[in-house]
Structure formats: C-alpha cells, structure tokens
Amino acid sequence: MKKTFTNIFVNDIWEHNTKHLITDVNKFKKQINFINECIDITKPELIIDCGCGQCEFIQHTNVIKHNYLGIDIVPQQIIRNQQTYPNLNFTCDNFLDYVSKLNIGEIPQNTLFLVKEVIQHWENYDIYTLLLHLRRLKVKALFIFKRRGQFRCRKGVEDNQNRTLDNKYHEYPVNYELYPMNIFSNFIQSHTRTNHSFKQLLLYNFQ
C-alpha cells in the first residue's frame, strides 16, 4: 500500500496537483455542513484524520479549528503538509497500524476519527479490523465514502463478499448496509447522503 500511494503522489497519477486540488465549495456544501454538524455534536478534543492526503478539503470545514492530527502513509506528503500547514500536526504511518497500537487513555475519550474515502482502497478484512479497533477504543468516527461507481470508482465490487482489491489505484464502492460495515450499524449516530446518493456520510458513536 505504501508503494502504491507513494507512486500516486510522486507521479501525480490522480492529478491532484493539476486538476483536483481546488475544492468546489458549492458542490460539496452538504458534505461540509454535515462534517461541521458532527463536530458540533461531538465537540472533539482531538480530530485524527485517516489518510489525510493534501488536506485541501478540510480547509473548508471546522476541522482545522480543532486539535488535529493528520496521518498519511506517504512520507513526501507529510513533509509537504508540514510546510503548507505549520499550525497542524502530522505523522507518517499506516493508519491501520497506528490505530492497532493505540490503547484506551492514550488519546482523549472524545476523539473524533475522520475516515474520508480511504477505506475504498481497503479489503473487507481491513475495514472490519478498523471498526473493531474504533469500538475497542470507545471513540467516535466520521466516515465518508462512495457507495456506487463514480469517477475512478470500480463498479460491481460493492456486493462482493470477499472484496479482494486487485488494483489499489482505483477506488471501490463501500456500502454501510453491506458487509462488513453492516455489522456495526447499531453504532451509527447520524447518517446522510450527498451527490445523488453517491456519497454516504456516517457518524459512529462507539462509546
């Protein structure tokens, strides 16, 4: 995974540095509003951003007004973020490894994990493992992902029980009503959809 995303960053495979760097605030208004509403509800002492990438999107939310830790697997991305956002905190790590090493008490209990689209590059087992760790830590988590094919999103895999990803350069749909996320549906505190139901946004409360 690290090799794949480092190549994406170094060679600008997704054209983040050319075509997709600027967020269309009007297009993502509902998504931005939902993020801000979740922050108002949870009042987090710390926001941990899973796979933070270039952090361009969060500039338009209230995320940056809080104690923030961005985690990304690409060292070059972390270096750039530290230069671009000197007031925010970043660390380079595999997010799943990072969460697995955390123990209760090492982070504030009302920490909010922001998991935006990164699980679309994960297999079912990894998604399931992440949710287990979040439940173990008794935190809250805001998930944002695509539930059906759009842009780089592969079609047809959202109903695949095994969901083995043979090409991590692509995004794969995730659906909270299907395995493995449906196992944790009782922990959903708030939920909405945007972009004609392409995007699902869910606030989980594991406390």
pTM of the model: 0.87
Q: Note every long-range contact of 55-62, with CB atoms under 8 Å and residues 24 or more positions apart, other chains counting.
A: 55/81, 55/84, 55/85, 55/88, 56/21, 56/22, 56/23, 57/23, 57/28, 57/116, 58/114, 59/23, 60/23, 60/25, 60/28, 60/32, 61/32, 61/35, 61/36, 62/35, 62/36
Within a 13 Å sphere around the CA of 171, how many CA atoms are in the beta-carbon half? 21
pLDDT of residue 151: 47
pLDDT along the chain (207 residues), means of 10: 62 53 76 95 97 89 96 92 95 95 95 93 90 97 80 50 58 85 96 78 96
Whether the ω angle into residue 75 lies within 30 degrees of 0, i.e. cis, is no
Spatial distance between the Cα atoms of 6 and 61, rounded to a whole number of angstroms: 26
99 neighbors 154 (Cβ within 8 angstroms): no
Sequence letter at residue 193 = R
